[in-house]
Amino acid sequence: MQGFINLHKPKGMTSHDCVGKLRRLLRQKRIGHGGTLDPAATGVLPVAVGPATRLLPYLQEWKSYNATIRFGIVTNTDDLAGEILEERSPQDLQHLTREIITEQLPNFTGTISQIPPKYSAIHVQGKRAYDLARQNKPVEIPSREVEILQLRVLDWRDGDYPELDLAVDCGPGTYIRAIARDLGSALGTGATLAALERTRSCGFVLSESLTFEAIAQQIEADQFQLEPVLDILCHLPQIQLEDELVKRWFLGQRLPVSPNDILNWDPAAAEELDGEKLGPAIAVSDLHQNCLGVGHLRANRDPDASTVILAPKVVLPLPEA
């Protein structure tokens, strides 16, 4: 088996738990996920099956979430699963309004500096941060730059502990728990993440995701199909190889190809690396629309050549007939 699954992760399971359950359902050992979701979170969990696991680094990076932020509470995990460290009285929160919070959101968009939660999978001194935190050892996590494309208010609910529903479009490495924590800090009220649903990840959307129950039913009815690899790599430039070049591709050889044969490629996207121009990742297929893997473009050393060089990076086996 080779392909992808758009899994609708349920609440209460770790991403690793989800992979284990799929291994049992599909009777496949080689399965991996494309981006961890906390146990309390739900939504899109991209899953690769078989050799497609090697393509996880090449999937789309942007993600979208619907988050519920509760004000007046601070926890050690930056969500409701943790221990409450600080709890404001309802009187301290009476001044909060949707408008006051909305005014703060531009400070959390664009490229921002963010410190991941102490209870996270970040490596600190060779260990996971959450392992150190659970052992009550000091955890100093360096800040990192993340990109927030958009924050959009979906709903606002007054009460003793007001809640804000927020849509977040962000780049890789962003912690929504940290956004909740830092927004509460900026407002002087404290805040924590109350609920999280991922609505888009790696090119998959929530409306098309499958629950474990749906997958099991499709398997039982002999109707289950993996998402084709080439469909999931549609954001990359594409090239189809003639049969003779396909043979050389499987031998790991660098191939001279015409730039005119590469769809959606912008030559200006090439970057200098080790003194050589390196183009973006290219999705490679044969004339029968079988995905052969991913390659990188390199400039031809012959300045008079009309071709560029396609170097294999990930070579996939052909699907069985």
158 in Cβ contact with 145 (< 8 Å): no
Do residues 43 and 37 make contact, with C-beta atoms less than 8 angstroms apart?
A: yes
**253: number of Cβ within 10 Å:** 12
How far apart, in whole angstroms, are the C-alpha atoms of residue 73 and residue 38? 19
CA–CA gap between residue 246 and residue 282 (Å, rounded): 15
Start-to-end CA span in the chain (Å): 12
Query: Angle, nearest 10°, between helix axes 15-26 and 212-220?
Result: 10
Residue 182 is a catalytic residue: no
17, 38, 79, 261: the catalytic one is 38
DSSP letter assigned to residue 117? P
Is residue 312 a contact partner of residue 249, using CB atoms and an 8 Å limit?
A: yes
Q: Are 120 and 175 in contact (CB under 8 A)?
A: yes
Contacts from 111-115 at CB under 8 Å and sequence distance 24+?
111/145, 111/146, 111/147, 112/145, 112/146, 112/147, 112/148, 113/143, 113/144, 113/145, 114/143, 114/144, 114/145, 114/146, 114/174, 114/175, 114/178, 114/179, 114/182, 115/141, 115/142, 115/143, 115/144, 115/178
Residue 65 dihedral angles phi and psi, to the nearest 5°: -140, 155
- Active-site residues, by number, are 38
